[in-house]
Amino acid sequence: MSAESVQSFLALAIGFAFAGSIATGYQLLAHRPASFRLLARGASPASLAAVPLLVFAAPFIIMRNTVRGRIIERRRFEFVMVATVIAGLWSLMSGTVVVMAVQAVATWAGGLPV
């Protein structure tokens, strides 16, 4: 495996882990699961505050809804596959942002190697 492949895999895993942490933290504080319905409240400060939450929690929400839809509604395999690819790519992008943010903070905090 090349170094780029390992780095991409780790970014994917970090993205899913971060998404799960954000969504679970929201559920712990709000006593309800995070969903894309947070944006349906119209133009309000709560909707604006929900955007960063949903940007990073989206892979977890997509996969949760996909698995529930497959079990409860008997959705087709193709739909599940497409949703998994979308969640994976989203997780890869958000994981890359998280890794870059950690590297930036480590550099700013005194040049600690990451």
Within 10 A of 96 (CB to CB), how many other CB atoms are there?
Answer: 17
Output the pTM of the full model.
0.83
- Residue whose pair of structure tokens reads 């529930």 in the numeric block: 68
Structure tokens at 70: 């497959």
Residue spans of the domains in the chain: they are 3-108
What's the confidence (pLDDT) of residue 114? Answer: 58
pLDDT tens for residues 20-51? 999 999 999 989 888 888 877 777 777 778 88
| Low-confidence residues in the chain, pLDDT < 70 | 111-114
Beta-carbon contacts of residue 72 (< 8 Å; ≥ 6 apart): none
